[in-house]
Amino acid sequence: GQQVMQIPQYQHVQEGEDFTTYCNSSTTLSNIQWYKQRPGGHPVFLIQLVKSGEVKKQKRLTFQFGEAKKNSSLHITATQTTDVGTYFCAGTTGNQFYFGTGTSLTVIP
C-alpha cells in the first residue's frame, strides 16, 4: 500500500496567503525530493533533502526534513497565482522510491 502520505489533498488559498503541505512516511527515508506538477504538465524537480533536520529555502519556498527522516514539509510564503499546481514529495527507502499522494494547490486571485 501507499507508504508516503501527504496532507492536505487539496488546498485553496487567497493570493498572498501562506501554504503548507506535509509529507509523512511509515518508514525512515534515506532522502526526500519535492516536485511540482502544473495542470496538464509533468512533474518538475524542486529540491532534494538528505540530512536529518535539514532546511532549505528557494525564494518563497521553505523545505524541511524531519529529525526522524519520516516526514517533510513544504511551505510557501505569500502565494502567487504562478504557484498553482500539485506538489508531490517523493522518498527513497531501501531500493524503493515512493511518491506522496500530492497536494493540489489553488490560488484565488
CB of 34 to another protein, least distance (A): 11
Near another protein in 74-93, by CB under 8 A: 88, 90, 92
Q: Which three cell numbers stand for residue 100?
A: 506522496
Q: Which three cell numbers stand for residue 38?
A: 502544473
Alpha carbon distance 75, 61 (integer Å): 6
Rule CB under 8 A: say whether 105 interacts with another protein: no
CB of 43 to another protein, least distance (A): 5
In a 10 Å sphere around its CB, with 0-12 CB exposed, 13-18 middle and 19+ buried, how is residue 59 labelled?
Answer: exposed
Q: Which stretch binds another protein (CB under 8 A): 16-24, 57-65, 73-81, 100-108?
A: 100-108
Rule CB under 8 A: say whether 44 interacts with another protein: yes
Rule CB under 8 A: say whether 39 interacts with another protein: no
In a 10 Å sphere around its CB, with 0-12 CB exposed, 13-18 middle and 19+ buried, how is residue 100 labelled?
Answer: buried
Residues that bind another protein (CB under 8 A): 2, 30-31, 33, 41-45, 48, 50, 88, 90, 92, 95-102
